[in-house]
Structure 1
C-alpha cells in the first residue's frame, strides 16, 4: 500500500514484507475465517483461556478504549537506560547463543525480529537466545499481530472487505501474547512498519486491544520518512502511540546529504513533544541504492545529531546484511551476509559502549527545549539559527548543532546543552559563551566516569572530532 505522503529514501517495508510473504497466504485464510476459527488454536499451540475469552467478548462488545500507559512504565521506553536496538538480526540458521552474545557485546539492548524469522517456533527459540544474552525483542508476528494491524483492518462491520472484527483481533492478539509472553525477553510486538495515514484508525484499535490484554508490553510502530508535519501529528493524535519512531537515511552517494533530513527530524521532534512521548530514529549503517557506506564518524554523526534533536532511542538499519536477492543494492552492514564482522561492527560497539549508553542515560529523562544550528550558512531546510538565550550568549567558530534540554521538574532551573559537530568529516573548534549573570556553574559530562567535571564559569572551548558531541550542564544561579 502506497503512503499518501511523499516517501523519501528507502522503504524498509520491502524487507519486512519479504520476511512475511510466505505467511501471507496463511494470514489471509485466518482473517477470512469465522470468529470461531479466529478463536481456535494458533500454529504455536497456544490456547485461549476462559478469562481471555471474556476479554475478547468485551472488546467485541465495544468496550471503552484501554488507557494509554505512560512510556515510563513500558519496556525500553521506561527505566533509566537508553535503548539501543537493531533491525535485521541474524537469520534463523545463524541464530545461536554466540551470535546473540555478539549482539549484546556490541552494546545493543533489543532486537527487532526479521531476516526470514516468521515462524512461531523460531520466535520462541530466538526469545530464549535473547533472554540468555540479556537482550529484549520486539516480535514481528505475521500470523497473529499483522492480521490485526496490517494485512486487514479492524471493523465492527462484518461485511467490510478484508477486515477482522474487534473480537477476532483480540483473539489473534491473545494467541501471540500467550505464545511469547512467558519469555522475559519479550518487550512487545512490531505492529506495522511504515504505515500510510489510512491505517491509523485500525492501528489505534490494535493498540487499544494490546493495552487491554497486555499493558506491560510495548506496542511498536515505525513511520515513513516524510516532510509532511500532518502525517506525524495525526499519528500521535489518532493512534496515541507509546513512542514515535521513523527512518530517514541522510548519507547519499557522492558525499551528499539528504537536504531535508533536519526538516524531517524537526517535525518528528515537534510531534513527540506534542504527544509527550519518546522519539526514536533509525541510523544508516550500509550502502544501498543512491546511498553511501557510512564511516565510523558518520555513524557517530547520525547518532549525535539525533540526540541533539531529542532522540530517546537509537536503532541501527541494518545489523546483518540483507542478501543481494532482496534488491536495493545493499552493501555490508555491521555483519556481512556470510556472518563476518565489518569495521562498522567495531565502530558501533565503541559508540554504544563508551558514549551512547552513558550520554543517553543523562538525556533520556530530560525534555528537549530547543535545537538550533550555529555558524551555518545557508541554514538547512527546516532548521533554526542560534540566537542568544538566558543561558548561552554566543557560539563561535565552527558550525555546530545545539540541543538544549530541561528537567521535567519545573523547580529545577538548570539546563543541559548537547553541542554536536555539524560535520562528519572535519574537526570543529568551538567556543560556547555562557551568561554569567544566570549561570552559576558549568560542568562537562565525562562518559568514561559517568560523571560531570566542574570548570570555571566563562567561555567553554571545545574541540569536537568529526561527528562527535559534548554534553554541558549549566547550573542556574
Structure 2
C-alpha cells in the first residue's frame, strides 16, 4: 500500500493537531495556517455565497432526524490518531472499544479509500463509530480547495463540484453502520470560514443524517472570543469543539480555564453542545499525564458543560511528525501504556455513566470555589441554590433541564487539584433545596442523602461527584 507523502508544514509552531493533520493533506494542499497560541484577533471573513447560506444552528438541528454522536443518549468518547494501517485489525479496534471509546477520527495514514473501508468494516464489527477526515474527496471539498462559483478564485472548485465530491465520498461509506459523518477541517483559520461554511452546507445537503465536524484551535481573550463567534455564526456547526492541552512540563497552563469559559459561553449562546480534546500524549514541553491528571481534565471539562470528550492521541505519533511526540495510550509499536488502563477505567466506570446524565442538561453555572479564580474563570457567589462553600478548592458545575421553569438542578463537585484529595463542604439554600441525592455510576441511580442542608464530600485527586438537588 502506498502511503501518501507528508505535505510541507511551513512555519514552525503549528498546533499539535495541525502537525498530525499534515499526514493526510497531501501534496496539493493549500498552505498551512501558522498556529498562534495567544490569538489576539481574527479577521472578518467575507460571507458565503447566497446559494449556500446556512440557516441558524437551531434550524439546522430541527431539520435533522438524529445526528450520530451529537444526538442520542450515549455520551461521545472519541480518539484521534487511531492505529495505523498495519494495525487496523479486529484486535486493535477491540482494544479501543473495550477501553470505552465510542468513536474515532481517522488519521495516522488511514487515508485512502481501501484502508478507510477496512477501518469502517472493522469498526462495524466492534461497535465503534467513525468520523472520516482523511478521504481524498472529503479533503478536496473541505480543505484543499475553496468552494466558489467565481472561476477567477485561485484553487477553487464550484458548488456542483463540491456536491459531487461529497456524494462520491458518502456513497463509499454510507453502507457501514459505523459511519458517523465527515471531519471537514481541523483548526481552520478565520479566512477559511466562508468556504468551510459552504462545505458544511454541502455536507448537510448531501448527507443530512450524518454529522459534519470541525475542531478549533485554542486561545483566550476577546480576540479569540470574536474568532469563535465568527466560526459559529458563519459555519453553523452542530457542536463546538476545541483542543487545549494544559499539562505542561513546567506546571499547569494558566489560561486553560479562560479558554474553556469562552467556549462554554459561545456554545450556550448558539445553543449547541461543546466538545473538547484532552491531553493523553507527551510531546514538546508537555508531560505524560498520570491517571489522576487524565481524570482531572475530564471532570474540569464536564464541570464547564462539556458534552463530548476526545483523546489526543490514542496511538503514539511517529517521529516523522516532529514535535517530540512520546507515549500516548500506546507506544509507537502498539504496546499499551498505563494510560490505556487509566482511560479504560475512567471511561467505563465514570465518564460513560455520568456523561449520560449530563448530556441532555443545560450548563447553568461553572464557578471556582475556595480559591482565587484562575485567569478568565468565575468565582463562587451565593445564589438561590448554593449559599456557601468551605474547604478544598473545587469547580462547581450546575445544570438544569431544557425546561427553564423546572426547579430541579444537578451539581457536579469536581476536585480542582489533580495532585491532592479534596475535602469540601457546599452549603445549600434551605428555602430552595428540599432533597439531595448522590449519583452512583455503578448502579446509575441516585441515593437520597440524610442531610439536605449541605454537601460534605471527600474527592480523590482529579475526581468528582454528581448530586441532584430537588427543589
Q: Is TM-score (shorter-chain normalized) higher than 0.5?
A: yes
Q: Does structure 1 conserve the Cα–Cα contact (< 8 Å) formed by 2:53 and 2:201?
A: no
Q: How many Å separate the matches in 1 of 2:169 and 2:218?
A: 29
Query: Are 1:214 and 2:207 matched, yes or no?
Result: yes
Aligned equivalent of 2:4:
none
Query: Are 1:253 and 2:249 matched, yes or no?
Result: yes
Q: How many Å separate the matches in 1 of 2:75 and 2:13?
A: 28
TM-score by length of 2: 0.90
Aligned equivalent of 1:203:
196
Q: CA RMSD in A?
A: 1.9
Identify which of 232, 238, 262 aligns with 1:236: 232
Q: Does structure 2 conserve the Cα–Cα contact (< 8 Å) formed by 1:9 and 1:225?
A: no
Query: Are 1:12 and 2:17 matched, yes or no?
Result: yes
Aligned equivalent of 2:219:
226
Q: How many Å separate the matches in 1 of 2:418 and 2:52?
A: 52
| Structure 2 spans left out of the alignment, 5+ residues | 1-6, 31-48
State the shift of 1:212 in Å.
0.9
Query: Are 1:69 and 2:56 matched, yes or no?
Result: no
Aligned equivalent of 1:42:
none
Alignment of 1:66-105 (within 5 A): 68-70=60-62, 73-105=66-98
Identify which of 316, 326, 332 aligns with 2:311: 316
State the shift of 1:181 in Å.
1.0
State the shift of 1:11 in Å.
3.0
Distance 1:8-1:236 versus aligned 2 partners, 3 A rule: farther
State the shift of 1:108 in Å.
0.3
Query: Are 1:170 and 2:163 matched, yes or no?
Result: yes
Aligned equivalent of 2:385:
391
Q: How many Å separate the matches in 2 of 1:143 and 1:241?
A: 22
Aligned equivalent of 2:266:
271
Aligned length: 436
Q: How many Å separate the matches in 2 of 1:82 and 1:9?
A: 30
Alignment of 1:13-162 (within 5 A): 13-21=18-26, 24-25=27-28, 62=51, 65=54, 68-70=60-62, 73-162=66-155
Q: How many Å separate the matches in 2 of 1:341 and 1:113?
A: 20
Distance 1:63-1:326 versus aligned 2 partners, 3 A rule: closer
Q: How many Å separate the matches in 2 of 1:428 and 1:61?
A: 54
Aligned equivalent of 1:461:
456
State the shift of 1:163 in Å.
0.7
Query: Are 1:423 and 2:417 matched, yes or no?
Result: yes
Alignment of 1:370-389 (within 5 A): 370-377=365-372, 379-389=373-383
Q: How many Å separate the matches in 2 of 1:217 and 1:238?
A: 20
Q: How many Å separate the matches in 1 of 2:15 and 2:419?
A: 24
Q: How many Å separate the matches in 2 of 1:68 and 1:207?
A: 11
Q: How many Å separate the matches in 1 of 2:408 and 2:387?
A: 16
Aligned equivalent of 1:296:
291
Alignment of 1:395-406 (within 5 A): 395-406=389-400
Aligned equivalent of 2:42:
none
Q: Does structure 1 conserve the Cα–Cα contact (< 8 Å) formed by 2:15 and 2:217?
A: no
Q: How many Å separate the matches in 1 of 2:134 and 2:201?
A: 18
State the shift of 1:20 in Å.
3.0
Q: Does structure 1 conserve the Cα–Cα contact (< 8 Å) formed by 2:54 and 2:235?
A: no
State the shift of 1:140 in Å.
1.1
